[in-house]
Amino acid sequence: MMNPSPAPPAAAPHAELALAERAREGDLEAFNALVDLHQRGVYNLCLRMLGSRMPAEDATQEAFLSAYRGIRSFKGEHFRGWLMRIAANACTDELRRRSRRPALSLDTPPPGTEDPVEVPDAAAGPEALALRGEEHERVQAALLRLPADQRLAVIMCDMQGFAYEEIASAMRTSIGTVKSRIARGRDKLRRELAAAREHLGGGNRP
């Protein structure tokens, strides 16, 4: 199965730890090497958690700033998981900021200011592209309706390919809880997507 946000080209864990160690001593260049490795993953996590680009970009920036400033709290477990947890918190902060300003609410982006998250796929024809785009929008919308903890667990597991252990360490909870969050999240998505398919299933689909 294809994995759309693959882990960074396996920077050996000890290389990462060495960079983190140097960053901890205030070496910004070492930290930026970690940024290079992880910015795509962090940005995509924020994008899927928040559902649109500008907030995801802000949250990503905030996440790296917080990570650098809080690097002393990194105790040498999974760096990627540690970073993702900070990113998830940055997303929560962003969500809270936005819920204070209803005009920028997640569900109804003001027309023209936010484009739905879609990534061009050169290999597909225009029609297939449009259909696929609709499906992606449905999935993204359904994701946004999940409770934040389930959303995070599902995104990390099924979109970013994290192992249960890493998710548990990032969410500071047990593997059992992670599995259960994932199960409930998937089940809710299943119901929503099945309902949508039934609703659209009037024969206008290939």
Partner 1 sequence: MSLRDETVIKLLAFFRRNAHADIDTLSAQADGSLDVARATAIEAHLASCAACARRLEELRAVRSALAAMPAAEAPRSFRLRQSDVEAAARRSADGGAGQVLRLMPVMSAAAVVLFGVLVGVDVLSGRDGSSGLSRTSAGAPAAAERAKDTLANAPVPQTAAADQAPAAPAPAPSGGAPGVEPAQTAAGGTFPATPASGSATASSAEAAPTRPTSAAYRDTSAGARGTDGGPGGLRIAEAVVAAVAVGAGAIAVSGWKKSKVV
Spell out the residues 6+ positions from residue 30 whose beta carbon is closer than 8 angstroms to its own. Answer: 19, 20, 22, 23
Q: Which of 15, 18, 69, 115 binds partner 1 (CB under 8 A)?
A: 69
Should residue 52 be labelled a site residue for partner 1 when binding is judged by CB under 8 A? no
* DSSP assignment string, 27-72: -HHHHHHHHHHHHHHHHHHHHHHHSBHHHHHHHHHHHHHHHHHTGG
Question: Residue 57 Cβ, how far from partner 1 at the closest point, in Å?
Answer: 6
Q: Which stretch binds partner 1 (CB under 8 A): 10-18, 72-80, 108-116, 187-195?
A: 187-195
Should residue 177 be labelled a site residue for partner 1 when binding is judged by CB under 8 A? no
What's the chain's Rg over C-alpha atoms?
A: 18
Q: Which of 15, 36, 73, 113 binds partner 1 (CB under 8 A)?
A: 36
Question: Residue 199 Cβ, how far from partner 1 at the closest point, in Å?
Answer: 15
Q: Which of 27, 135, 141, 144 binds partner 1 (CB under 8 A)?
A: 135
Total residues interacting with partner 1, rule: CB under 8 A:
63
Nearer to partner 1 among residue 104 and residue 146 (C-beta)? 146
Q: Which two tokens stand for residue 176?
A: 């059992």
Are the beta carbons of 162 and 170 closer than 8 angstroms? yes
Should residue 58 be labelled a site residue for partner 1 when binding is judged by CB under 8 A? no
**Contacting partner 1 within 70-89 (CB under 8 A):** 85, 88-89
SS3 category, 151: helix
Should residue 165 be labelled a site residue for partner 1 when binding is judged by CB under 8 A? no
Report the 10 Å Cβ neighbour count for 74. Answer: 18
